[in-house]
Structure 1
Amino acid sequence: MAEEIDQTLPLPDEYPEPCEDVVNGDEEEENNKHQSLKCSPNLLQMLKAAESRRTPQSRDREEESGTEETEAQKTDMQIQFNDQKHEFNKRPANTGRRSLSRSISRSSTDSYSSACSESSEDESSPRDKLQATSKGLSDFCIKNIQQAEFGRREITIAEQEMPALMILRKRAGGEKPLAGAKVMGCTHITPQTAVLMETLSRLGAQCRWAACNIFSTQNAVAAALAEGGISVFAWKGESEDDFWWCIDRCVGAESWQPNMILDDGGDLTHWIQKKYPSIFKKLKGIVEESVTGIYRLYQLSKAGRLCVPAMNVNDSVTKQKFDNLYCCKESVLDGLKRTTDVMFGGKQVVVCGYGEVGKGCCAALKALGTVVNVTEADPICALQACMDGFRVIKLGEVVRQVDMVITCTGNKNVVGREHMDRMKNGCIVCNMGHSNTEIDLVSLRTAELRWERVRPQVDHVIWPDGRRIVLLAEGRLLNLSCSTVPSFVLSITATTQALALIELYSAPEGRYKQDVYLLPKKMDEYVASLHLPTFDAHLTELTDEQGKYLGISKHGPYKPNYYKY
């Protein structure tokens, strides 16, 4: 059984700031160091061997059915925690479980896509329920196990649009490359991540899962995963106390010694490193997919406190150029439409941040006729925005005129109270970047402001003079809290995550040190190649002479590590 934990409960606001000298000052040196790594040959050999054993007939069948299936801090940097002692509430009153803003007005805690969702009148907490699957398993905590059948249908739909994971199940399922792996995950729990979890199980892993966002869990999907034997601790509409309780249940189970982490945002890694240091030291690897989680891993590494190898999936080509761009490009409009019924044509919008997420949001909004302004701190990204036809401004310059403000930075307090005090009546404020830190919500939770719940995940924050702003998802991720996301583009990210887990788990002793690594270029290319048949795309094969002329193998990698695509 995992050791008894210190009951100090950390608060999200006390996480460390991004370490500037890691991500700015020494970035080029760090990248050159990490990007020189080579892919473990074992994994590629295994995949090639599996490929060679397939007959032409099986290949044809697979192609037809693939979619079915500060300097003083450098050495003694400390992550700050709340000194207040806290024990998880066993049976608190209903309002005690809800976050402050959620206690102001009622809201649905069910998935947008769940036709069989329970009524929002059901305020009982899953922590107070005793539930079991049809096989008598009870190692989970979700909203309602009776939704499992409907959740299974949603997962089946997602499988149709996630071809690479289905192919990976077929090609590597026999070898079980994750046999013996005990994977703890903290990600969004959606049909798409469910396909990833079940793929990891097919490859031999045991999984326990919690949600990285209190609003993004689809309850029916969580029920289907629990019915399928995966221990899930998550439901839509968790309180902050519930959030950390669920993560702790994933870690502190009897007869469970995890050896791999799949994280989104760094919360699970943060919790284990602080509360379960003996478990943290025995991990074989960490796979992190978000920019915020990567910042935190680099902080640990800089301070000499990262005692396991970690794989940076966020900066892989397949994550940056596909998930961050195309996923946000399609889902930002969906989230805004579902929550506000807004018409985009002619609206004045500010997009804060012009990274890949910001680029996708700007392109989508511009296509529907909005007038898009951009805020940026990075001069390179700012120049890109200018040359793409967007005006680069400071938020305070236009905040009185704009109809929407969308944050996409991965930073904190990008939209402050000084901005919101000056916004026009009815301005829509939402976040597409990270957690709930980009909008200064603390400043809105004051006595003079009134919160009014309008519909699920939509709040009016009303000033004493009657002016109001429309806040979506309490400042959390708009697309995952208020709508759905494209399964196909998430297939690319999920396949990258699966291969990163396999790479770290199966790599020979000593190949990866206690540091943060980038995914090998060959892996990125392999992930992309698995998705090309969906478009009936046919790659041009280089000749030996052409490969020699370019100084590369004709089988790849085709680009150097410094190539930016």
Structure 2
Amino acid sequence: MSAYPPISEHLDDVASARAEGRRKMEWAAQHMPIMERVREEFREEKPLEGETIGMAMHVEAKTAILVETLADGGADVAVTGCNPLSTHDDVSAALDAHESITSYAKRGVGDEAYYEAIEAVIAHEPTITVDDGMDLVAAIHEDHPELIDGIVGGAEETTTGVHRLRAMDEDGALEYPVFAVNDTPMKRLFDNVHGTGESSLASIAMTTNLSWAGKDVVVAGFGYCGKGVARKAAGQNANVIVTEVEPRRALEAHMEGYDVMPMAEAAEMGDVFLTTTGNRDVIVEEHFEKMDDGVVLANAGHFDIEIDLEALAELAVDRYEAREGVDAYELEDGRRLNVVAEGRLVNLAAPVSLGHPVEVMDQSFGVQAVCVRELLECAHAETYEPGVHDVPDELDREIAEIKLAAEGVEYDSLTESQREYMDSWDHGT
């Protein structure tokens, strides 16, 4: 076992932290009917009995409900953070108090401690991985290939992680099956659109104390996350500008009524810039040189490489904390460019950030939980070969049905004749 200590050994007042973390978790649980249903099933049937689950996630109250659900299903769980600034230490401490959970997640760690915590999770020799960003999967393949034969499979939560996994799969380097949870409708249509849109804008507004109304807001990327940010910003009376590299998405943004232009042009116009691409070097030196004094720069992608902060630091003659969570970079001509949350995932890394709304994450984590169940149910049948797999549609529908029932929403079903018609090819005009 790793010598890296769990969260409880980092804190001065562990009991107080655990109590506060538990309070946050209880609030989240009240608003997560999907996870409540899944948790009841897992407690009764123990489908994860004897398994060890390694997790690298944003460790906060909603995630904690997923972690405890997996533990209640019979698994031993080791968890750490997937972003140095997204962990809530009190929630991490509350998880670590569970007899079947070890939490290594701690907020504000440097790169070395961040990866030491991932190594500590791997030292538990997981049979299943649950990841957000793919750092855990990458570390296992690169540094611990001897563990791969004992791993049933994994699940990946986010866009960036799925992109990395698909690249790994195309190279023939992914050696166990992983579900692309991010790509399933119950994730991308709600978590990516409503979750990212609402939580990113709320975090920026609370951190800066600035209004959206009348602002020129530049949204980099018009995938599901970018669509959500653009829609929510427009709903708060901002003027939205979209930048894109994919022509069909650019056309979609144009036909939805947004201004579409290259970042080089948008840089001269924007008041707030929010990147959602999952790629690197989206806002770089040539863009900084054109920006107005006082602009706000933030990132809603997974890693802190979308805004080139090294180039910005080289341009700056001074850097100081303008507000908690906001670093001002003062340029030689006196302009100040303000970066929120160190360019990290703004809806989780800003000081006031709480991540996606509880109801949204209830859906995403419900999918995660049933994917873990599916991997184990199908393990002996070898249904899933190494590689990236779409989440089976019946699992996604299962989560949607639980949510609709909890909301008291009824809906129609196909009749036999309608089902027959949809499955046939010989009914012409």
On whether the aligned pair clears a TM of 0.5, the verdict is yes
Match of residue 386 from structure 2: 514
Partner of 1:151: 21
The question of whether the paired residues in 2 share the 8 Å contact of 1:145 and 1:226 is answered with: no
1:188 aligns with 2:64: no
The residue type equivalent to 2:243 in the other structure is T
State the shift of 1:445 in Å. Answer: 3.4
**Residue aligning to 1:315:** 183
Gap runs ≥5 in structure 1: 3-89, 91-126, 133-139, 553-565
TM-score w.r.t. the length of structure 1 is 0.71
C-alpha distance in 2, partners of 1:351/1:430?
10
Q: Looking at CA atoms only, which structure, 1 or 2, has the larger radius of gyration?
A: 1
* 1:81 corresponds to: none
User: Which shows bigger deviation, 319-328 or 143-152?
Assistant: 143-152
Q: Secondary structure at the match of 2:56?
A: strand
2:105 counterpart of 1:234: yes
Residue of structure 2 in register with 1:163 after alignment: 33
2:106 alignment partner AA: W
Partner of 1:525: 397
Report what 1:209 is aligned to: 79
| CA drift at 1:265 | 0.6
Change (3 A) 1:189 1:130: closer
Quick one: distance in 2 between partners of 1:131 and 1:490?
Answer: 24
Distance 1:130 1:413, change over 3 A: closer
SS at match of 1:474: helix
Aligned length: 418
1:175 matched to which residue of 2?
45
Q: 1:13 maps to which residue?
A: none
Residue identity opposite 1:499 in structure 2: V
- 2:384 corresponds to which letter in structure 1? Y
The structural deviation recorded for 1:432 is 0.9
What is the CA-CA distance between 1:131 and the residue it aligns to? 7.7
Mapped partners of 1:142, 1:456: distance in 2: 23
- Return the match for 1:396 from 246, 255, 264: 264
Extract unaligned runs of 5+ from structure 2. Answer: 425-429
Indicate the residue corresponding to 2:121 in structure 1.
250
> Taking structure 1 as reference, are residues 172 and 244 closer, same or farther at Cα in structure 2, changes over 3 Å only?
closer
- Distance apart, 1:504 and its partner CA: 1.1
Give the deviation of 1:233 after TM superposition.
0.9
- Structure 1 pair 142/438, CA: closer, same or farther in 2 (3 Å)? farther
SS at match of 1:173: helix
Q: Which residue of the partner structure matches residue 444 of structure 1?
A: 312
Report 1:58-457 matches (<5 A): 145-146=14-15, 147-229=17-99, 230-252=101-123, 256-446=124-314, 448-457=316-325
Post-superposition Cα deviations, 1:27-61, rounded to whole Å, max 9, x if no partner, equal xxxxxxxxxxxxxxxxxxxxxxxxxxxxxxxxxxx
CA contact (8 A) 2:191 2:364 kept: yes
User: Once the two structures are aligned, what percentage of the paired residues are identical?
Assistant: 33
CA distance, structure 1, for counterparts of residue 279 and residue 12 of structure 2:
32
Farther off after superposition, 150-159 or 373-382: 373-382
Q: Deviations over 1:412-468 (max 9, x none)?
A: 110112111221111000011221011112223338532212333211111122211
Q: Which residue of 1 aligns with 2:412?
A: 540
Q: Structure 1 counterpart of 2:75, which letter?
A: A
Equivalent residues of 2:6, 2:96 under 8 A apart: no
Distance across 2 between alignment mates of 1:498 and 1:235? 24
2:375: which partner in 1?
504
The question of whether the paired residues in 1 share the 8 Å contact of 2:7 and 2:104 is answered with: no
Alignment CA distance shift 1:323-1:445 (3 Å): same
Specify which structure has the higher proportion of helix: 2
Q: For residues 222-278 of structure 1, give each alpha carbon's deviation from its aligned partner in whole angstroms, at most 9, with x where no partner exists.
A: 1111122321112221111121111111112xxx32111001111111111111110
Counterpart amino acid of 2:377? Answer: S
Displacement of 1:144 = 5.2
- SS at the partner of 2:44? coil
Which secondary structure state, in structure 2, belongs to the residue aligned with residue 338 of structure 1?
Answer: helix
SS of equivalent residue, structure 1 residue 183? strand
Q: Output the amino acid matched with 2:381.
A: E
Contact 2:319–2:329 under 8 Å retained in 1? yes
Aligned residues of 1:408 and 1:432 also touching (Cα < 8 A): yes
Higher strand share: 2
Q: Which amino acid aligns with 1:510?
A: E
- The secondary structure found in structure 2 opposite 1:149 is helix
Q: Which residue of 1 aligns with 2:346?
A: 478
Shift of the 447–389 alpha-carbon distance from structure 1 to 2, 3 Å rule, reads closer
CA deviations 1:345-364 (Å, max 9, x no partner) are 11111100111111111111
Q: Distance in 2 between matches of 1:142 and 1:197?
A: 21
| Alignment partners' CA distance in 1, 2:12 and 2:300 | 26
Q: Name the SS of the counterpart of 1:406 in structure 2.
A: strand
Closer/same/farther in 2, CA of residues 367 and 259 from structure 1, 3 Å limit: same
The answer to whether the 8 A contact 1:141-1:234 is kept is no
> How many Å apart are 1:545 and its aligned residue?
2.3
Most deviating of 486-495 and 166-175: 166-175
CA contact (8 A) 1:142 1:234 kept: no
Deviation at 1:323, TM superposition (A): 0.4
